[in-house]
A and B are shown apart, each in its own frame.
Chain A
Amino acid sequence: MKMTKIYEGAYQWIMYGRDPYKPDNIIDTNQYVVRTENRCLLIDPGGIELFAPMLAAVLHHAPVDEITDLFASHQDPDIISSLGLWGQALPHAKLHAAGLWEGFLRHFGCESIQYVPIPDAGGVINLGSVELQIVPAHYLHSSANFNIYDPQAKIFFSGDIGAALEGPGQPVFVENFDAHVEKMRFFHQRWMPSNQAKRVWIDRVRSLDVEILAPQHGRMFKGDDVKRFLDWFEALQVGIAV
């Protein structure tokens, strides 16, 4: 699995993805890790198929007993169907996920991990030396959906927002925004149901200082491409299937 360090300061942000051994018929996903001096947060750790390569990759940066927190942006299997396996590997870890999805996510197996329900308004994940903001992104696309903002690193993990569907082995950052647009259009129009939710989310993100917008599929947006993405998304009509 490819590992890309996207922030290095007193702690690190690492993006994991583009697994060359991933089965062809499952969607490619990006996983993110926030590594502090003695703790580690896995953001959208992925599906069952990805568990072994993901854990193997994380072991390059942290020992098992320092992987203390998991975050699931929503309930989809590509986000967190590996939960039962993480529970066996990290019996003392916490899972931060929507309170609304708790009864659903427990179907993946959640006996030993502590479920920390996130209220609709969001909250924080405190990793000791760093505090991350949990930002509501409901209905984009899931009905209880959250993003993560790190004001210090200026990284905004956007879940499925900003996602693109493209072939394997693509670069991790958008290089030509105009060329990238077509890889995102259908995904956003079909998966995102609400123009109102979209406008609220865009206003929220515009109020933040974001250097990197990091989605769960496809490429990350950096610098001016963050603003370009927000403008493009604002003009896009979503919820096209009705």
Chain B
Amino acid sequence: MPMSQNKSQFVAVASIAAELSAVMEVAKEISLAAANAKAIAFRAGEKARGFQPITDFINELAKETIELVNNINEHALKLYRLTVKEHRMSEACKRFEKVAVSASAAPYASSLTPSLQQARQRRTDCRRQFSRHVSELLTQLADVMHPARAARVIAANSRIEASQAGEYLQSLQAVAESVDNAAQIIHDKVHKCRSALSMINAVD
């Protein structure tokens, strides 16, 4: 990874953190929608019997998403720390190389060599770790896509069940709509995260 990559790497990692935080909010909204739907379905009684198990399923999906995003957040934080470390290592290498040139005539110039070699080694290690973490993060992000896709299917089923709920039709349809929207938002945001990460990997 060239030095000029550092800046875009910082931006990419920060934008991933921002997108993930938005995903978390949306997942919480889904969880709330599930609780709301459950209350409506309870009131609707027999008319919304088909809807009741769906609400539990929506809630499970929201929980699963929140858990996955929590894990991914930890990973993203590691990625950020690695970016900072790699930046510091690159800076150290750059400055040590500068010293090696300007102090070439100094009596103790060669004493810097072990430090320079160590800094280069650490920089290489950082880059290797960074690439590994990016790959792992990409896999985890793909995992978040699954509950989001499932949520869309459930939303479609919810609409069908809602149509049989008489006077509760509108309320339950609204729930189905909000789950569908939320799932779409999660899908888009996760897709953005994956694109940002893929770009880092492509330049790497």
Contact = CB atoms under 8 A, between A and B. Distances in A.
The 6 A-B pairs of least Cβ separation, nearest first, read A63-B111, A56-B103, A88-B92, A63-B108, A59-B106, A52-B98
A55 B99 contact: yes
B126 to A, nearest CB: 12
A65 B119 CA distance: 15
B106 A88 contact: no
A88 B102 CA distance: 18
B108 A109 contact: no
Interface string B78-99: 0000000000110110011011
A12 to B, nearest CB: 14
A105 B103 CA distance: 28
Interface residues of B, number: 21
A60 B88 contact: no
A56 B95 CA distance: 10
B188 to A, nearest CB: 36
Contacts of A63: 108, 111
Given A62-B108, A64-B111, A55 B92 contact: no
Contacts of A59: 99, 103, 106-109, 111-112
B157 interface: no
Contacts of B99: 52, 55-56, 59
Contacts of A60: 103, 106-108
A213 B181 CA distance: 71
A136 interface: no
Q: Which applies to chain B's interface (DSSP): helix, strand, loop or mixed?
A: helix
Given A88-B89, A89-B115, A51 B108 contact: no
User: Which of B108, B115, B118 has most chain A Cβ within 10 Å?
Assistant: B108
A61 B107 CA distance: 8
Contacts of B88: 84, 88, 109
Interface of A: 51-53, 55-57, 59-65, 84-85, 88-91, 109
Given A85-B95, A88-B119, A109-B88, A55 B108 contact: no
B103 A55 contact: yes
A62 B112 CA distance: 11
A95 to B, nearest CB: 16
B95 A52 contact: yes
Contacts of B96: 88-89
A242 to B, nearest CB: 38
Contact of A64 (B91, B95, B115, B122): B115
Contacts of B114: 64
A55 B111 contact: no
Given A62-B108, A64-B112, A85 B92 contact: yes
Nearest to B92: A88
Interface string B100-144: 001100111101101100110010000000000000000000000
A55 B100 CA distance: 10
Contact of A56 (B89, B102, B111): B102
A91 B95 CA distance: 16
A80 to B, nearest CB: 15
B89 A55 contact: no
Contacts of A61: 108
A43 to B, nearest CB: 19
A53 B103 CA distance: 8
A220 B109 CA distance: 29
B102 A52 contact: yes
A84 B119 CA distance: 12
A132 B95 CA distance: 30
A53 B109 CA distance: 13
Contacts of A89: 92, 96, 112, 115
Contacts of B108: 59-64
